[in-house]
Amino acid sequence: MEVQNFEQIFQQKIDTEIKIEPKDWMPDAYRKTNIRQISQHAHSEVVGMLPEGNWITRAPSLKRKAILLAKVQDEAGHGLYLYSAAETLGTSRDEMIEQLLTGKAKYSSIFNYPTLTWADMGAIGWLVDGAAILNQVMLCRTSYGPYARAMVRICKEESFHQRQGFEILLVLSKGTDEQKAMCQDAINRWWWPSLMMFGPKDSESTNSDLSMKWKIKRKSNDELRQNFIDMIAEQVKVLGMILPDPNLKWNEEKKHYDFGEINWDEFWSVVKGNGPCNKQRLEARKKAHQNGSWVREAALAYAEKRNKKQIKVA
């Protein structure tokens, strides 16, 4: 069969909503962009454990500590499902980790901001997980089978994460003046970086055209960002707080909220490695990798021992 036929069959499957599976023929660029996106997503989950992990020992009660611990463990699990999904495309976990640790691979810009107060745990759950869910609900229907299936379970856990974040802020918003101020301050600091999570404007999004054609993405960066703003602009009223954007205003004609200009210079600076915590985050991952080397060595030695035993028995 000609490559052209393979391409036609591939595109037909996409157009008729048949999932692409690991052993199916796929264009190199489809394989590459899935590896790129899924591995970036996996790295985001793993690096994303750091800003919240920072608060586990300082959570204000045993209950809060147990919830936060469970949430951070969930993120580790998400990273593992996603690394496995990327491996089905022919890349190895070692390669992906290497790319993260050497700074070659990207991960979400949002995790390069510091977590200064307990209210940040609420703002991350509500805004960061909230933004992630909107994006990830779309990804449950992405065209690559293993990625789509991983996302179904991830989304169930993320919706619990978002609710726990909102509840932290709800309690603070009904507390003392100091607690209210802490709540508002966290919202002020996390709002704009959360909007950047959806990626650059559609006009600057280099990967979107092909990703939409191949149904890896089904909604554009700007469309998802607008959905998020519309949702949060309503939810913030329940908290009795405000979003730090003087231009945020309901537009009756468009049936959407208008909003102010995002600082794209800040976004690209963070993506290029110059955000407030980029260096700290990579150092923490490198240290964890080094500290875990004995586990990898022990697992390899155990596997070799078992192989030898099996050869002897055979």
Instruction: Report the residue number, 250 or 264, with the smaller CB distance to ligand BYC.
Output: 264
- Shortest distance, position 72 Cβ to ligand BYC, whole Å: 8
**CB-based closest residue to ligand BYC:** 48
Q: Residue 310 CB, nearest distance to ligand BYC (Å)? A: 39
* Least distance from ligand BYC to the Cβ atom of residue 199, Å: 3
Decide whether 57 or 176 has the Cβ nearer to ligand BYC: 57
Residue with smaller CB distance to ligand BYC, 220 or 235: 220
Buried/exposed code over 252-268 (b: 16+ C-beta within 10 A; e: otherwise): eeeeebebeebeeeebe
Q: Give the count of beta carbons closer than 10 Å to the beta carbon of residue 189.
A: 18
Q: Which is nearer to ligand BYC, 75 or 120 (CB)?
A: 75
Pick between residue 206 and residue 310 the one whose CB is nearest to ligand BYC: 206
User: HEC states along the chain?
Assistant: CCHHHHHHHHHHHHHCCCCECCCCCCCHHHHHHHHHHHHHHHHHHHHCHHHHHCCHHHCCCHHHHHHHHHHHHHHHHHHHHHHHHHHCCCCCHHHHHHHHHCCCCCCCHHHHCCCCCCHHHHHHHHHHHHHHHHHHHHHCCCCEHHHHHHHHHHHHHHHHHHHHHHHHHHHHHCCCHHHHHHHHHHHHHHHHHHHHCCCCCHHHCCCHHHHHHCCCCCCCHHHHHHHHHHHHHHHHHHHCCCCCCCCCEEECCCCEEECCCCCHHHHHHHHHHHCCCHHHHHHHHHHHHHHCHHHHHHHHHHHHHHHHHHHHHC
Residue 252 CB, nearest approach to ligand BYC (Å)? 29
- Taking the least distance from each CB to ligand BYC, the nearer of 75 and 245 is 75
C-beta of 87 vs 129, nearer to ligand BYC: 129
Report, in Å, the least distance between residue 206 CB and ligand BYC. Answer: 4
In angstroms, what is the minimal distance from the CB of 248 to ligand BYC?
Answer: 21
**CB 243, min distance to ligand BYC, A:** 19
Applying CB under 6 A, the residues found at the interface with ligand BYC are 36-37, 40-41, 44-45, 48, 75, 106, 108-109, 124, 128-129, 132, 135, 196-200, 205-208, 211, 217, 221, 271
